[in-house]
């Protein structure tokens, strides 16, 4: 086997560009990986191993970036509120002494 993953000969052609070629992975328990794409971008893969089929989704970098930006915005707003709350004006009436 020239590489760690080899295209399965009975897989045939791609079906409409949504599902990639079937890859057979070597090892003690054989596994078959079928990549899945949407709009030309990989979105996941079906993994067939041990008589079970599982779908493994890939992480979308755009969603990770949006989540990080949202968390940063919440942190900045929280820090700004804490700074403003710490700088309260002193009361207009001082301490009353008798």
- In this prediction, residue 10 carries a pLDDT of 45
**Is pLDDT larger for residue 71 or for residue 61?**
71
* pLDDT cut 90: percent of the chain above it: 18
Whether this prediction's pTM lies above 0.85 is answered by no
- In this prediction, residue 4 carries a pLDDT of 45
- In this prediction, residue 17 carries a pLDDT of 55
Residue identified by tokens 């971008």 is 41
- In this prediction, residue 14 carries a pLDDT of 44
CA distance 86 to 38: 50
pLDDT tier at 53, thresholds 50, 70, 90: confident
């Amino acid at each position: 086997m020239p590489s760690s993953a080899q295209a399965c000969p009975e897989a045939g052609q791609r079906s409409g560009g949504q599902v990639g070629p079937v890859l057979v992975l070597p090892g003690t328990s054989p596994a078959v990986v079928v990549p899945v794409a949407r709009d030309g971008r990989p979105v996941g893969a079906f993994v067939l191993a041990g008589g079970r089929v599982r779908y493994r989704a890939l992480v979308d970098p755009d969603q990770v970036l949006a989540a990080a930006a949202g968390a940063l915005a919440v942190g900045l707003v929280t820090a700004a509120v804490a700074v403003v709350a710490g700088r309260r004006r002193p009361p207009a009436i001082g301490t009353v002494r008798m």
